[in-house]
């Protein structure tokens, strides 16, 4: 029988460093690397093991299924297989005596098959919805999928709204004289800049600039999770000075979404997916200001919480933004990377980066291709890329009312 370490190495290409995090995580659950991988290991649910990224969960799932196949038992991660599409003779949950001397080559082959099967089972996203079409309820459900909790900042983080003595008073911006928010965007962005200057934020060389990006439709940001996908752009952003408009989208520090008066509350869903997109493509935490020029709703994400400060005055809103911009000197770096920000912030930014579609494809390629024989790697990579391209073009399924609703109206 193989040990847990050997089972993991069978799917990690004999690289002990790549499985270290998995080994440490399993040890905390009572599965030690030097122990034999027996029936209990076969029932381990890899998807529910906390602390692992997608690639590590996939490797663990493949190892569990490979051991289950070698022992002839069913695993909690799926039916044991002795080859593609062939179930083990033993039913799920039955634990016959372990087969002696499991063949490592066979284990590795089953691991490869299991990894590919996991990828094939993953649902690709449908046609993306535009940010502007996302309602408040839909955004809340998406946050639930991401395991992000919505927090009332005015109650939980009210101290951040306190204004230090001597804080300059910021003024609002009247949008009523403009035809729509697009017409007001340029002047309103200039207004944001002037108010932040009052609070000590520097603009120009070696500092920040404000970018009008609302017309960059061809460079819109795409995020996806499971079978949900959203695409769009925001009105403006603050990013380090000297960037092109396109590059500013991936170095946002603050994002602005402008709405005409009385339309703010109806556009919270749009603001939420825009914040998620800015975080997915950016290297550090982002604030989003949803405003009609007079009233402000400021959003940010910390840890597993989406925080919203509502009904803010201009002074409160701009003070939050100024503190965010000046909280770390690295915020002005044009080429800031995720690895350069504090580790605590990295921990909650990394999952948000998985919302980028290229990250999902990249993870899949890295999780499977290294385990294949050299002559199989290129065809397999092309097949995965083709599958992503094809599935991304599938139209969204028509919405169906649940049977209970039909019964109610019949």
User: Domain extents for the chain?
Assistant: 4-121, 129-353, 357-392
> In the block, which residue shows the tokens 């400060």?
309
Question: Mean pLDDT throughout 276-291?
Answer: 98
Q: What pLDDT does residue 252 have?
A: 98
For residues 96 and 68, the answer to whether their CB atoms sit within 8 Å is: no
**Measured distance between the N- and C-terminal CA atoms of the chain, rounded to whole angstroms:** 61
- How do strand 221-225 and strand 228-232 relate by DSSP bridges? antiparallel
* pLDDT for residue 123: 46
The per-residue pLDDT for 93 is: 35
Confidence (pLDDT) at 87 = 35
pTM assigned to the model: 0.62
pLDDT at 220 over 50: yes
The predicted pLDDT at position 111 comes to: 56
Q: Determine contact, residues 332/241, Cβ cutoff 8 Å.
A: yes
Q: At what angle do helices 20-27 and 54-71 cross, to 10 degrees?
A: 70
Instruction: Please state the rounded mean pLDDT for residues 288-298.
Output: 97
- pLDDT attached to residue 383: 77
What percent of the chain is modeled with pLDDT above 70?
76
Residue 358: the pLDDT is 64
Per-residue pLDDT of 254-270, as tens digits, reads: 999 999 988 888 899 99
Judge residue 122's burial from the number of C-beta atoms within 10 Å of its C-beta, 0-12 exposed, 13-18 middle, 19 or more buried: middle
Residue 104 confidence class, pLDDT cut points 50, 70, 90: low
Indicate the average pLDDT of the chain. 82
Check: CB of residue 308 under 8 Å from CB of residue 150: yes
pLDDT grade for 92, boundaries at 50, 70 and 90: very low
């Amino acid at each position: 029988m193989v040990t847990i370490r050997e089972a993991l190495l069978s799917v990690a290409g004999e690289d002990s460093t790549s499985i270290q995090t998995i080994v440490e995580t399993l040890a905390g659950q009572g599965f030690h690397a030097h122990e034999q991988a027996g029936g209990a290991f076969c029932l381990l649910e890899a998807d529910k093991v906390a602390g692992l990224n997608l690639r590590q969960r996939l490797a663990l799932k493949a190892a569990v299924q490979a051991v289950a196949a070698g022992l002839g038992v069913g695993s909690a991660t799926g039916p044991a297989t002795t080859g593609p599409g062939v179930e083990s003779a033993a039913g799920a949950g039955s634990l016959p005596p372990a087969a002696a001397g499991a063949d490592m080559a066979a284990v590795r082959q089953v691991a490869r098959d299991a990894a590919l099967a996991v990828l094939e089972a993953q649902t690709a996203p449908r046609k993306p919805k535009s940010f502007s079409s996302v309602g408040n309820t839909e955004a809340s459900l998406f946050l639930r999928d991401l395991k992000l909790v919505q927090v009332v900042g005015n109650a939980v983080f009210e101290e951040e709204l306190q204004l230090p003595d001597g804080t300059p008073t910021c003024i609002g911006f009247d949008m009523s004289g403009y035809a729509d928010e697009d017409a007001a965007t340029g002047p309103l962005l200039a207004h944001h800049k002037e108010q932040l200057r009052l609070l000590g934020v520097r603009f120009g060389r070696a500092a920040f600039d404000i970018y009008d990006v609302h017309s960059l439709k061809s460079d819109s940001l795409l995020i996806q999770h499971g079978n949900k996908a959203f695409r769009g752009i925001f009105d403006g952003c603050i990013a380090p000075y000297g960037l092109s408009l396109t590059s500013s989208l991936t170095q946002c520090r603050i994002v602005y979404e402008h709405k005409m008066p009385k339309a703010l509350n109806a556009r919270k869903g749009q603001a939420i997916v825009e914040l998620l997109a800015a975080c997915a493509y950016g290297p550090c935490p982002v604030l989003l200001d949803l405003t009609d020029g007079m009233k402000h709703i400021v959003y940010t994400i910390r840890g597993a919480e989406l925080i919203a400060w509502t009904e803010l005055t201009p002074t409160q809103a701009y003070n939050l933004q100024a503190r965010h911009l000046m909280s770390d000197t690295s915020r002005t770096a044009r080429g800031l990377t995720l690895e350069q920000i504090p580790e605590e912030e990295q921990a909650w930014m990394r999952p948000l980066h998985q919302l980028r579609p290229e990250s999902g494809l990249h993870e899949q390629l890295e999780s499977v291709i290294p385990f294949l024989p050299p002559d199989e790697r290129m065809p397999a990579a092309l097949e995965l890329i083709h599958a992503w391209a094809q599935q991304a073009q599938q139209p969204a399924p028509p919405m169906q009312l649940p049977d209970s609703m039909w019964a109610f109206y019949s």
